[in-house]
């Protein structure tokens, strides 16, 4: 009886220790995130104002706002998505729905994975030599958007593929069983079911694109450009690069330190908003397309 009690106690103690560690780790991560956020918020909140969001930089970027950088980042996000989303989704559909298992599929998969592992600065260099110089787009939103698009392509392909894979095979079989063709099955049944997850992947990659600095360095980003882009062949400012500039090589680094934190805060808010949006969308569509 007493040995049983001892055993139970022992078991409970080791369980408490293990769970204690897990709990501590989880809270530590959350705490760390809050520390970073709080640090940036505290440092940056002072400069955030309507003017900061809506005005051009002034006085060698030590005053004024970051409006052109926000617009530039949005333009880059849109341009990259217009390129990467259709290409990535179609590639994923092809790989998941059409290609039979075998070495060609394996090679494509491996290549996609490799592409995901390429450092972003290399993408920047590649974008510069191909889009800027060879295709003569110049430093432009087009060149930058395409380069960013290439960067997130593997991400989009992979999330789309995972979403398609998550669609139960019996949906395909049921549709084919009714005499539908493969294309009808894919477009009318499989894709709509996978859509919420695909869209989530898309939005997460928007977060990624809006934060990248290296790929836009040589392809689009302007050091200082106190006007808005007019076409896709214009240069543009972008938040991450702007942040880099005013933090390292501005006219007066000390003076623009607050501006830098403000910019960082805006960037984080954009990423945060896109993540929240992703969640909300997934929930919204998830309700419509419940996989039970």
Partner 1 sequence: MHKIESNNVNFYYGENHALRDISLSMKENTVTALIGPSGCGKSTYLRLLNRMNDLIDGTKMTGSIVIDGTDIYGKNTNVDNLRKNVGMVFQKPNPFPKTIFENVAYGLRVNGITDKNEIEERVVTTIEQVALWDEVKDKLKKSAFELSGGQQQRLCIARALAIKPSILLMDEPTSALDPISTSKIEELIYELKNKYTIVIVTHNMQQAGRVSDTTAFFYMGELIEYDKTKTIFTKPAIKQTEDYITGRFG
Footprint of partner 1 on this chain (CB under 8 A)? 100-102, 168, 170-181, 184, 188-189, 192-193, 288-290, 292
What is the rounded CA–CA span in Å between residue 143 and residue 136? 9
Between 128 and 199, whose beta carbon lies closer to partner 1? 199
Between 257 and 282, whose beta carbon lies closer to partner 1? 282
Task: Assess contact for 61 and 259: CB atoms under 8 A.
Answer: yes
Question: Taking the CA of residue 216 as centre, how many other CA atoms within 13 Å lie in the half-sphere pointing to its CB?
Answer: 35
CB of 175 to partner 1, least distance (A): 7
Between 22 and 284, whose beta carbon lies closer to partner 1? 284
CB of 289 to partner 1, least distance (A): 4
Between 90 and 174, whose beta carbon lies closer to partner 1? 174
Structural tokens at position 46? 């002072």
Question: Taking the CA of residue 15 as centre, how many other CA atoms within 13 Å lie in the half-sphere pointing to its CB?
Answer: 6
What is the rounded CA–CA span in Å between residue 111 and residue 92? 13
Between 23 and 181, whose beta carbon lies closer to partner 1? 181
CB of 188 to partner 1, least distance (A): 7
Query: Which 3 state secondary structure label does DSSP give 64?
Result: strand
Contacts with 21 (C-beta within 8 Å, 6 or more apart), sequence order: none
CB of 106 to partner 1, least distance (A): 13
CB of 89 to partner 1, least distance (A): 18
What is the rounded CA–CA span in Å between residue 236 and residue 238? 6
CB of 103 to partner 1, least distance (A): 13
Q: Name which of 147, 113, 112, 111 is nearest 128 in CA terms.
A: 147
Task: Assess contact for 142 and 74: CB atoms under 8 A.
Answer: no
What is the rounded CA–CA span in Å between residue 170 and residue 256? 59
Between 271 and 281, whose beta carbon lies closer to partner 1? 281
CB of 171 to partner 1, least distance (A): 6
- E strand or H helix at 212: none
Structural tokens at position 24? 């501590």
What is the rounded CA–CA span in Å between residue 274 and residue 200? 9
CB of 287 to partner 1, least distance (A): 9
239-248 helix and 257-288 helix, angle to the nearest 10 degrees? 160
Between 97 and 234, whose beta carbon lies closer to partner 1? 97
Between 89 and 209, whose beta carbon lies closer to partner 1? 89
């Amino acid at each position: 009886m007493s040995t049983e009690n001892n055993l139970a106690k022992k078991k409970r103690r080791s369980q408490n220790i293990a769970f204690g560690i897990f709990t501590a780790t989880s809270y530590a991560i959350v705490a760390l995130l809050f520390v970073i956020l709080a640090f940036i918020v505290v440092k940056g909140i002072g400069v955030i104002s309507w003017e900061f969001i809506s005005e051009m930089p002034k006085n060698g970027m030590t005053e004024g706002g970051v409006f052109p950088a926000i617009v530039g980042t949005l333009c880059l996000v849109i341009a990259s998505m217009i390129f990467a989303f259709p290409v990535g989704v179609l590639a994923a559909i092809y790989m998941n729905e059409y290609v039979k298992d075998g070495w060609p599929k394996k090679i494509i998969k491996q290549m996609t994975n490799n592409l995901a592992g390429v450092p972003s600065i290399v993408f920047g260099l590649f974008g510069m030599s191909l889009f800027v110089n060879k295709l003569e787009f110049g430093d432009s939103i087009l060149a930058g958007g395409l380069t960013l698009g290439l960067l997130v392509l593997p991400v989009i392909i992979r999330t789309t593929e995972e979403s398609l894979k998550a669609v139960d095979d019996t949906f395909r079989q049921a549709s084919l069983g009714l005499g539908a063709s493969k294309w009808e099955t894919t477009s009318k049944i499989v894709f709509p079911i996978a859509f919420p997850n695909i869209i989530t992947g898309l939005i997460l990659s928007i977060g990624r694109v809006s934060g990248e600095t290296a790929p836009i360095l040589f392809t689009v980003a302007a050091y200082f450009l106190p006007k808005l882009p007019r076409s896709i062949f214009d240069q543009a400012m972008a938040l991450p690069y702007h942040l880099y500039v005013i933090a390292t090589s501005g006219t007066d680094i000390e003076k623009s330190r607050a501006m830098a934190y403000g910019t960082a805060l805006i960037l984080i808010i954009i990423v945060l908003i896109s993540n929240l949006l992703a969640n909300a969308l997934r929930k919204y569509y998830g309700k419509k397309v419940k996989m039970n």
